Amino acid sequence: MVETKTSAKQITICSDISKIQSVRQAILAEMSDAGFDEESKMAVAVALDECLTNAIKHGNKNNRKLTVDINYKIAAGRVEISITDQGRGFNWRANKHLSGSEEFTGYEIGGRGLFMINNMMTSVDYNDAGNQVTIVKANSAE
């Protein structure tokens, strides 16, 4: 019988962009320990930075009194990260960059982060309110 180890943790940060680096470092270190390849780690690093920046800047409006919760699980060749801000959320259903209803080159002023997240992750899901995103990345090496 093969034993698989699951690492599930939660990190809470205040809405301060400078806190993103420590979250990224913690998750990437655990991904390294779990045997994730460099391509998967880089994709998660970029998507995580974008998601956290969106939560802090757009969700919580840079209000340092509001927090962002990061819940993550690393197991069986995949990492799942949920990021929740205290903002009102956004209408992700109507976002043209997510629905594919508009041609998007990646050079537009807005929406680049969402475009990148959706193209780099194995899956991306939002809660109904639009203030929580869950990103999943399967290890490219497996």
pLDDT score for 2: 43
Q: Measuring CA to CA, which residue among 73, 74, 57 is closest to residue 113? A: 57
| Conformational region of residue 74, where left means phi above 0, alpha means psi within -120 to 50, and beta covers everything else | beta
How far is Cα 27 from Cα 22, in angstroms, rounded to an integer? 9
pLDDT tens digits for the chain (142 residues)?
444 567 789 999 999 999 999 999 999 999 999 999 999 999 999 999 999 999 999 999 999 999 999 999 998 899 999 999 999 998 888 775 554 545 655 555 567 788 889 889 999 999 999 999 999 999 987 7
pTM, two decimal places: 0.89
How far is Cα 23 from Cα 20, in angstroms, rounded to an integer? 5
Give the chain's domains with CATH numbers.
Answer: 7-138 (3.30.565.10)
End-to-end CA distance of the chain: 19
